[in-house]
């Protein structure tokens, strides 16, 4: 009999396969785990941008989560695009009802190409209601700026922002430094302790879906029983490997490759 860890992603669909649910499922599968999904929205997007968004009915999102938890309980949950306040409220209700564990929240707000993936009015609901439920939240620099309310331009600013976010949500935060120059350095702040995770910066424009991939990989590593530190370290190694394979498809910022980096796991 095969024993397999189960990971649920609650996120939006990217029809071009680079980000969202598709990136999450590829990542979970590459980790040799069983992937499940509750789809919050359909997006019409590709490597050049987001051209349309169709939100799923919040009650139906709740139904998807019910079907999953009542049958195959996930060992970890990754949460990505959540669109609007009602969707966030339903997800919060279900996570509490089912006492979900190992919750990694990527507080997706705006795509790199500039499209709003979370409606502006829902930011407060996300920060006040959903983020405090995370085992870890993984904002990029623009998202961290929204949560903490000031500009982040240096590693010192990242430290100040992480402390501020910790105080707001009373939970672990990993601020991703991909939007700063130099190294790809991410900062974990939890329980008054900070830990930098540094990897070389891969010189490529093909970074579509890096945030989705990182958060899913962390969820997989937590599902496997790793500590938070170890989960992030392994996930960053996976991500850097996926960037380094040098896949170059599409006319814009292309997706990552999830097959040939398997040997890095």
Ligand X SMILES: Nc1ncnc2c1ncn2[C@@H]1O[C@H](COP(=O)(O)OP(=O)(O)O)[C@@H](O)[C@H]1O
243 binds ligand X (CB under 6 A): yes
Active site residue 210: yes
- Considering only residues 174 to 233 of the shown chain, the ones binding ligand X according to CB under 6 A are 176-179, 184, 186, 199, 201-202, 207, 210-211, 214
In whole angstroms, the minimum distance from the beta carbon of 62 to ligand X comes to 26
**Which region among 55-63, 90-98, 181-189, 209-217 touches ligand LCLJCK34 (by CB under 6 A)?**
209-217
Please report, in angstroms and rounded to a whole number, the separation of the first and last CA atoms in the chain.
23
CB within 8 A of 20, min separation 6: which ones? 11, 12, 13, 14, 43, 80, 81, 209, 212
Active site residue 209: yes
Active site residue 207: yes
Q: Which does 111 bind (CB under 5 to 8 A by kind): ligand LCLJCK34, ligand X, none?
A: ligand LCLJCK34
62 binds ligand X (CB under 6 A): no
81 binds ligand LCLJCK34 (CB under 6 A): yes
- Cβ nearer to ligand X, comparing 160 with 179: 179
- Cβ nearer to ligand X, comparing 36 with 243: 243
Active site residue 211: yes
Active site residue 176: yes
- Considering only residues 141 to 180 of the shown chain, the ones binding ligand LCLJCK34 according to CB under 6 A are none
List the catalytic residues.
176, 207, 209-212
């Amino acid at each position: 009999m095969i024993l397999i860890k189960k990971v649920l992603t609650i996120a939006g669909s990217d029809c071009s396969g680079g980000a969202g649910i598709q990136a999450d499922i590829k990542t979970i599968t590459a980790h040799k785990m069983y992937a499940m999904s509750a789809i919050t929205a359909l997006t019409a997007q590709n490597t050049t941008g987001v051209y349309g968004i169709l939100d799923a009915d919040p009650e139906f999102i709740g139904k998807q989560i019910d079907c999953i938890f009542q049958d195959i309980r996930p060992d970890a949950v990754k949460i990505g695009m959540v669109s609007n306040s009602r969707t966030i409220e339903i997800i919060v209700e279900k996570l509490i009802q089912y006492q979900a564990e190992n919750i990694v929240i990527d507080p997706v707000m705006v795509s790199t190409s500039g499209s709003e993936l979370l409606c502006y009015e829902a930011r407060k609901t996300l920060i006040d209601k959903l983020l405090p439920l995370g085992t870890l939240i993984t904002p990029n620099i623009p998202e961290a700026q929204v949560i903490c309310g000031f500009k982040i331009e240096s590693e010192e600013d990242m430290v100040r922002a992480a402390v501020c976010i910790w105080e707001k949500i009373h939970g672990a935060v990993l601020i991703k430094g991909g939007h700063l120059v130099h190294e790809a350095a991410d900062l974990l702040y939890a329980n008054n302790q900070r830990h930098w995770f540094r990897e070389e910066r891969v010189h490529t424009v093909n970074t579509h879906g890096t945030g989705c991939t990182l958060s899913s990989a962390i969820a997989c590593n937590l599902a496997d029983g790793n500590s938070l530190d170890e989960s992030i370290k392994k996930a960053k190694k996976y991500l850097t490997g996926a960037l380094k394979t040098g896949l170059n498809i599409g006319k814009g910022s292309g997706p990552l490759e999830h097959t040939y980096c398997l040997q890095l796991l």
